[in-house]
Structure 1
Amino acid sequence: MTYNPLLEMLRSRADGEITGIPSICSSHPLVIEAALREGIANKTPVLIEATCNQVNQDGGYTGMTPSGFRLYVEQIANKVGFDLKNLFLGGDHLGPNPWKDLPATEAMEKADILISQYVKAGFVKIHLDTSMACADDHAPLSDTTIAERSARLARVSENAASGLKPVYIIGTEVPIPGGAMEALDHLEVTSPDAAIATYEAHRSAFVKLKLEDAFSRVIGLVVQPGVEFGNENVVYYNPTAATELSAALKQIPGIVFEAHSTDYQPTSALSSLVKDGFAILKVGPGVTFAMREALYGLDQIAGFLDQLGKADSLAEKLEQLMLAHPQHWQKYYPGNADAQRLQRHFSYSDRIRYYWPTDAATKAVDSLLSRLENRDLPEPLISQFLPKVYPLFATQKQKPTAQTLIIEMIRLVIHDYEIACRRA
């Protein structure tokens, strides 16, 4: 296999270097652009991942197939001048989850097609996730069943690959995608025995299908290091609580742990995660949360400059959109009407991200940006409503555009990951 930043990371760690890689889990074009611009600035590869619900053979909630997603990301890369040799795509939670309401036989047939399309589209990092029970399964599934189904998908992947073959991530001990619904104060860290049992179950299942070569490319195991975020709070990484789990890597050499839901962790916590072996750091809602902060800040600036009322604000337009189409937030945001209104806009779970691609939200954002286009945004207003990025521009003679401010807000988040993952 030619250069792959994940394999390079493993080699570096084997040589004693503390290094990791961030995984950007978002399909929003501004997030992707920000990630690529950060990669250009740091001269580092960029890993962007799509989930099975987001991108699949039926279009997912983005309307994109795996090949369509690749083309979409590459178009953004070409626009910003990012070298495609440094762009790597991953598939997250690939398995029967989008079709789990079907019997297992049918759902796994769909998953076969999913895996095949991702690999044929050139995705080089494949997370095999068959942990979910299908319509005729008895929940929870056993480690053996999960591993056997994962090995089946690995065989499909190997047969679909032409030339370069992907690396694999196994394991499924992660929280609810997009954050927990309840308030949290701590989490149970994966036990070392559970991590090792998952690894061994998969090794055995791969061997039974004569997939030893594929298993040699299993580079990561998903575990719970004790990080998560709820709607209004974050559980921060506690290295002491994860000491035994981290030490378990000595018994399964040649891999690292993959940490999900690392959003909103401070740089110090991200650095500790990488040091302790949780070297693949996934971030999703955290970057779209920053984008929303930027958009709402610009909305405040535009409202002040144009003396517009509440009805004309971006926030109000999104409020009406979310109320009219509550399926993406209603069952995730508990509490009374006031609590739900707060969460719709400001929850760390950031389920507002599902609304940005809609025609109504796109029109509202385009309207906001067009109002600010070709205008000098007053420094005091940037300081007031976008204080996180104000220092980046305060000393520059050329004032930033509205879109630049959005990109830089997102880059601030991604930069923390780059700092944490950079070689010591």
Structure 2
Amino acid sequence: MNLKTIIERVIHLREHQGVQLTLLAACPNSDAVLEAAVQAAARHHTPMLFAATLNQVDRDGGYTGWTPAHFVRKLDAYAAKYGARREWLYPCLDHGGPWLKDAHTRDQLSFEQTFAEVKRSITAVLEAGYRLLHIDPTVDRTVEGPLPIQVVVERSLDLMAYAEAERVRLQLPPIAYEVGTEEVHGGLVNLDNFTEFLRLLYAGLAERQLMQAAPTFIVAQVGTDLHTTTFDAETATALYQIVKPYQALIKGHYTDWVENPADYPRTGMGAANVGPEFTADEYDALVNLTQHENPPSSHFLENLTEAVHKSNRWQKWLQPDERGMALNDLSPERRTWIVKTCARYVWTVPQVVTARQQLYQNSALPDPHQFVVNWITASIERYIHAFNLSNALTYFGDDPP
């Protein structure tokens, strides 16, 4: 079922039957997280979105080592392993826009260069079978401050027009779109700006004869980012009333560790992304294994920390008062947070892979890999329960076996 149809059904269920659902989008930032999310979807008979950024999955392999086609093949394999209904597992592009791949900023690409790269990646994800594209031109490294709404709208329309032309060329069925007004970094949305964005966007879609690409999800700031854990239910409720007439719903980003996840379905949130939290769960499960491993030590944590340090990607998570500091100069608490958060960037580094294999060999558990996957699955299930997703497929006409 197309995600647009699912969201229209979610709105109908809410308005006419009192059923409140929020879809979960797991960010597949590692093989274990992807496997855990598929296991959870199969176990609870629920749809699941897999929101992959261009840092994670791209034509160059990203930090997971997966191209879009490889990622979808992995999804297929885990669906078969756990008996998940593959048609209810939705590979999605997250943050498809200029400079949102770290390499584009690192290499100081011009707007024209990064825009062209994003278009090539859009073609690749369409060819691989992605079902939702987050079109996100909210960042411009060449200007100070947020972009004017009109610019965000025009760039969104340009990328959506390109994606639709490619979809038609590739003879693919309709896909869903996700758009947003501004970069998500923990504040609250300005409702006047949000309303104006929607007015301009839908006028542009009509003018360009792109109404078939009308968004399924709108991204808005509802109080959460990687450093905050409070979801603003009052703002979300107001946003629901604004987007409902468009047959679209709000999608929350940075839902990790949110204190009040049950408020998401209560306020009409359509979906929520969770990613770094599952990296932390994977890290915690591996730390647990290190505390019980047989000699000789794998030195897993030392190897992981060294790989994170060498990657230099940890520097983008420094607070303003930490800029210029070495990793070892941070407080122990902050250093642990940095390593845990950035572990996803280096799970596939040979040094870490080798240490992890040794750690598994040193474990007394019969299947330490499954132990890690199950640990992550338990965390995913917290959101499945909070979002009222257990047996949710029955609401869409798919009864459990």
What's the TM-score, normalizing by structure 2?
A: 0.84
Residue 246 of structure 1 and its aligned partner are, at CA, apart by 4.2
In structure 2, relative to structure 1, the CA distance for the partners of 1:72 and 1:404 (3 Å cut) is: closer
Aligned partners of 1:68 and 1:197: how far apart in 2? 39
Query: 2:224·2:230 contact (CA, 8 Å) conserved in 1?
Result: yes
**Which letter does structure 1 place at the counterpart of 2:150?**
T
Pair 1:314 & 2:312 matched: no
What is residue 12 of structure 1 aligned with on the other side?
10
Pair 1:330 & 2:311 matched: no
Query: 1:229·1:348 contact (CA, 8 Å) conserved in 2?
Result: no
Pair 1:169 & 2:178 matched: yes
What is residue 399 of structure 2 aligned with on the other side?
none
Residue 345 of structure 1 and its aligned partner are, at CA, apart by 3.0
User: CA-to-partner distance for each residue in 1:193-236, whole Å, 9 max, x for gaps?
Assistant: 12212212221222232212222xx1111001112232xxx432
What stretches of structure 1 of length at least 5 have no aligned partner? 177-186, 378-399
Residue 110 of structure 1 and its aligned partner are, at CA, apart by 2.1
Aligned partners of 2:37 and 2:177: how far apart in 1? 23
What is residue 120 of structure 2 aligned with on the other side?
113
Question: For 1:256, which of 230, 249, 254 is the aligned residue?
Answer: 249
Aligned partners of 1:47 and 1:249: how far apart in 2? 21
What is residue 144 of structure 1 aligned with on the other side?
150
Pair 1:294 & 2:285 matched: yes
Query: 2:286·2:372 contact (CA, 8 Å) conserved in 1?
Result: yes
What is residue 396 of structure 2 aligned with on the other side?
none
Aligned partners of 2:272 and 2:148: how far apart in 1? 27
Query: 1:226·1:242 contact (CA, 8 Å) conserved in 2?
Result: no
What is residue 124 of structure 1 aligned with on the other side?
131
Residue 326 of structure 1 and its aligned partner are, at CA, apart by 4.7
What is residue 195 of structure 2 aligned with on the other side?
196
Aligned pair count reads 372
Query: 2:279·2:340 contact (CA, 8 Å) conserved in 1?
Result: no
User: CA-to-partner distance for each residue in 1:349-393, whole Å, 9 max, x for gaps?
Assistant: 711221111111111111100122xx3x5xxxxxxxxxxxxxxxx
Aligned partners of 2:307 and 2:109: how far apart in 1? 31
Aligned partners of 1:401 and 1:414: how far apart in 2? 20
Residue 286 of structure 1 and its aligned partner are, at CA, apart by 0.6
Aligned partners of 2:192 and 2:72: how far apart in 1? 38
Query: 1:9·1:20 contact (CA, 8 Å) conserved in 2?
Result: no
Residue 401 of structure 1 and its aligned partner are, at CA, apart by 3.2
What is residue 221 of structure 1 aligned with on the other side?
218
Query: 1:50·1:90 contact (CA, 8 Å) conserved in 2?
Result: yes
Aligned partners of 2:225 and 2:110: how far apart in 1? 31
Query: 2:219·2:252 contact (CA, 8 Å) conserved in 1?
Result: yes
In structure 2, relative to structure 1, the CA distance for the partners of 1:172 and 1:69 (3 Å cut) is: farther
Calculate the aligned-residue CA RMSD, in Å: 2.5
In structure 2, relative to structure 1, the CA distance for the partners of 1:348 and 1:23 (3 Å cut) is: farther
Query: 2:138·2:183 contact (CA, 8 Å) conserved in 1?
Result: no
What is residue 78 of structure 2 aligned with on the other side?
76
SS of aligned partner of 2:173: coil
**Which letter does structure 2 place at the counterpart of 1:236?**
T
Matches within 5 A, 1:234-273: 234-240=228-234, 242-250=236-244, 252-266=245-259, 269-273=260-264
Aligned partners of 2:33 and 2:4: how far apart in 1? 21
Query: 2:23·2:270 contact (CA, 8 Å) conserved in 1?
Result: yes
Question: For 1:371, which of 347, 362, 378 is the aligned residue?
Answer: 362
Aligned partners of 1:416 and 1:198: how far apart in 2? 34
In structure 2, relative to structure 1, the CA distance for the partners of 1:327 and 1:145 (3 Å cut) is: same
Aligned partners of 1:198 and 1:349: how far apart in 2? 36
**Which letter does structure 2 place at the counterpart of 1:327?**
N
Question: For 2:375, which of 391, 398, 409 is the aligned residue?
Answer: 409
SS of aligned partner of 1:11: helix
Aligned partners of 1:349 and 1:261: how far apart in 2? 16
Aligned partners of 1:60 and 1:317: how far apart in 2? 21
Residue 112 of structure 1 and its aligned partner are, at CA, apart by 1.9
What is residue 86 of structure 1 aligned with on the other side?
88
Query: 2:95·2:136 contact (CA, 8 Å) conserved in 1?
Result: yes
Query: 2:63·2:348 contact (CA, 8 Å) conserved in 1?
Result: no
In structure 2, relative to structure 1, the CA distance for the partners of 1:56 and 1:407 (3 Å cut) is: closer
Q: Please, which moves more after superposition, 8-17 or 56-65?
A: 56-65
Residue 314 of structure 1 and its aligned partner are, at CA, apart by 1.6
Aligned partners of 2:360 and 2:339: how far apart in 1? 24
Aligned partners of 1:7 and 1:61: how far apart in 2? 33
Question: For 1:49, which of 48, 51, 59 is the aligned residue?
Answer: 51
Residue 142 of structure 1 and its aligned partner are, at CA, apart by 1.7
SS of aligned partner of 1:60: coil
Query: 1:263·1:286 contact (CA, 8 Å) conserved in 2?
Result: yes
Pair 1:420 & 2:386 matched: yes
The structure with the larger Rg is 1
Aligned partners of 1:355 and 1:77: how far apart in 2? 25
Aligned partners of 1:9 and 1:329: how far apart in 2? 36
